[in-house]
Chains A and B, each alone.
Chain A
Amino acid sequence: MPQPPLVSDAALDRLFADAEAARWGVSREAFADAVRRAMAKLAHTSSRREIPDAMVAAVHGRDLALALACAEGHDAAWDHFVLTYRPELYRAARAMTDEATGRELADSLYADLFGLTEQDGVRRSLFRYYHGRAKLSTWLRSVLAQRHVDLVRAQRRTTSLDDPAHPADAVLPAPPVEQPMRAGTMRVAAEALTAALVVLAQADRGRLAYYYAHGLTLAQAGRLFGESEATASRKLERARKALRLGIEGELAARGLSVGDIDDWAAVSRQAWDSVLMEALAVPAPQEPGSPPFKGKKTS
């Protein structure tokens, strides 16, 4: 069993005083326990038992005190939480989805934060998962994002196969037997794509995924990597070129070239289509002209 982290009482006292936890009726012991739990998670990753005072001071004490008080059902704390965070939560939820769904999403989160479920007669609030390492507002937005994604994924899993509005993850019928050659080509293309993706650097895979699959702007994707928009653009272009070279290499290993794949546009209709289209410089399907890839070689 791992040893509990060693947190100095002086650092805890300072944080407790700064957090003004007494305002919400949070005892010093309860507050210290919460800080120790946060430090235990941190110590787990760093393998050191003694926690420097600076790390304790970095805990968002006021947010933690508020969360503890809300979890305990302190009326004034809950009032303050709702007043301070409700507009921001609704705004964030609306930014993730549409108006109605966003409000529903935020309201369901409120219910869980409030602790409508009980276990052994004790109210179980979602606040118990907050440890004060991130700002409370940031944590709430992250929880909201996780719930939104899980909701979308669950809806996709339960979407009817007959629903034309959600064809993306539906189980599609097997390729028609009358076109075995085309199906084989597609399989080779997918294998080349898979292999090319695997050898890409983690960060490059992330850049491509955030930009193409998740629809982030360059500025937003760059924020995740701590980069400016210009740097994000430059690195995305580099990742795109690396993917293109990877696909060509994989095809060459199978005795093919890009020019042998007549119907890349069809391959790229789904999922990561834009990656393939741009990586291979394929004209968009709606653009009239010569078949894609014919005569196009790597730059």
Chain B
Amino acid sequence: MSAPTHRGPDPHADPLIASVIRAAGAVTAKDCPDAELLALYAEHEMSSDERGPVEAHVAGCGRCQATLAAFVRSAPEPGVPEATGGIAAPPWWAGWRWMVPLASATAVAAVAVWIGRGPADQAAPVADVVARTPATVAEAQAPGGSAALPSDARSVERRESAGGASGRMQPAPPRESRAASAARPKENDPTRVDERAAGEARDALEKAQADQFEIGRQRVNPDMRRDAPSPTPAAPAEVAEAPARAENVAGQRLAETATSAAQGLVWRVRDGIVERSPDQGVTWTRTASPTSERLSAVAATDARTAVVTTVTGTRFATSDGGATWRNLP
């Protein structure tokens, strides 16, 4: 049945019911649990020893009930990560992004050699490339490829510990199958890479590195300097100004780390889907997909804003954590 909509005062009933409700919630503020206890209670993060007294209090306290109700109502949407106090470390793969153009150039060189040979000679280099390239590319493109992605927290720890004190993974030597090793051309083999193919590979590599540098350069806001003065905690007016300056600090961090990881949130694209991880790749939450096309790149500027690019070059942007996307011209 529907609830009544009439809310006019009733001189008979109102004083009585108001007194009932007030009596039920007549607890002074000094008796109430502090905000941290209420938060622990609401999040079910306290022991039963602690929970009992808080529960008994809340059952008869209108103020705490209202506080908990407001607390629950203001909870972030599922899938949106909460802020954390620490600065999120860059993902382990972030330092090896330069491997992407390098791997691409290697592949170009290998294909060039392959094309320039007779059919009888093609099998050996292909086996070599197949043995070498996937591992390298997968390591470098971990956010977009499932092969090198950690499937659980332990694998992340293993990968991070492998990087030593820096927390980043060192590049593993390329794996080489026995067949590929046997088929690999020797130093004095007349079928080894010719000078023209090697030159093309070098050109491709230099172009890719130049592009990468250009992208990185464009991301750095000239106003975001390391030596920018930080706010001095002195006057109330400065409190309001603090956010803007703090964003400059973020800009530095954005430029230093990676555009696919921002504010502790890692974005990745995989085939036609976009996913986000609040915990360095341990768990992933899929967002709405902007397109059915295959996605090739993602650049995030904060926890809610990102741009993805399809293999055909179409770009889509979101400013609400991936709930909705708009096509960029």
Contacts and interface: CB of A to CB of B under 8 A. Distances in A.
A269 interface: yes
Contacts of B215: none
A46 B50 CA distance: 8
Interface stretch (A1-9, A28-36, A125-133): A125-133
Point out which of B29, B63, B246 has the most chain A C-beta atoms below 10 A from its C-beta. B246
Contact of A95 (B18, B44, B73, B232): B73
B239 interface: yes
B4 A285 contact: yes
B188 interface: no
Point out which of B3, B53, B63 has the most chain A C-beta atoms below 10 A from its C-beta. B3
A84 B263 contact: yes
Contact of A267 (B17, B24, B47): B17
B20 A197 contact: yes
B206 interface: no
Given A62-B86, A190-B20, A175 B69 contact: no
Given A129-B34, A187-B16, 12 more contacts: A88-B76, A95-B73, A141-B39, A142-B38, A145-B71, A171-B15, A172-B9, A172-B14, A206-B59, A210-B68, A220-B75, A266-B12
B68 A265 contact: no
A84 B240 CA distance: 15
Q: Interface residue tally of chain A, by bracket?
A: 35 or more
A273 B4 contact: yes
Interface in A112-154: 114-116, 123, 129-131, 133-139, 141-146, 148-150, 152-153
Interface of B: 1-21, 23-24, 29, 34-36, 38-40, 42-45, 47, 49-50, 53, 55-56, 58-59, 62-63, 65-76, 82-87, 230-233, 236, 239-240, 242-243, 245-247, 249-250, 263-264, 303-304
A20 B5 CA distance: 55
A88 B44 contact: no
B9 A111 contact: no
A75 B66 contact: no
13 contacts: A46-B47, A63-B86, A81-B85, A84-B264, A86-B243, A114-B239, A137-B83, A142-B36, A149-B66, A216-B73, A220-B69, A226-B44, A267-B13
Contacts of B65: 206, 209-210, 213-214
Contacts of A223: 42, 72, 75
A64 interface: yes
Contacts of B1: 277-278, 281-284
Contacts of B76: 88, 91-92
Q: Which 8 A-B pairs have the closest CB atoms?
A: A62-B86, A63-B85, A190-B16, A214-B69, A75-B230, A66-B85, A145-B70, A202-B59
A189 B247 CA distance: 59
A114 B85 CA distance: 16
A271 B86 contact: no
Interface string A72-114: 0101101111111111100111011000000000010011001
Given A111-B239, A136-B83, A169 B74 contact: no
A285 B6 contact: yes
A49 interface: no
Interface string A278-297: 10011111110000000000
Contacts, number: 284
Interface of A: 19-20, 23, 42, 45-46, 60, 62-67, 73, 75-76, 78-88, 91-93, 95-96, 107, 110-111, 114-116, 123, 129-131, 133-139, 141-146, 148-150, 152-153, 167-176, 179, 182-183, 186-187, 189-190, 193-194, 197, 202-203, 205-206, 209-210, 213-216, 220-221, 223-224, 226, 265-274, 277-278, 281-287
Contacts of B29: 150
B74 A96 contact: yes
A182 B11 CA distance: 11
A130 B232 CA distance: 23
Contacts of A45: 49-50, 53
Contacts of A174: 11, 15
Nearest to B29: A150
Contacts of B39: 134-135, 138-139, 141-142
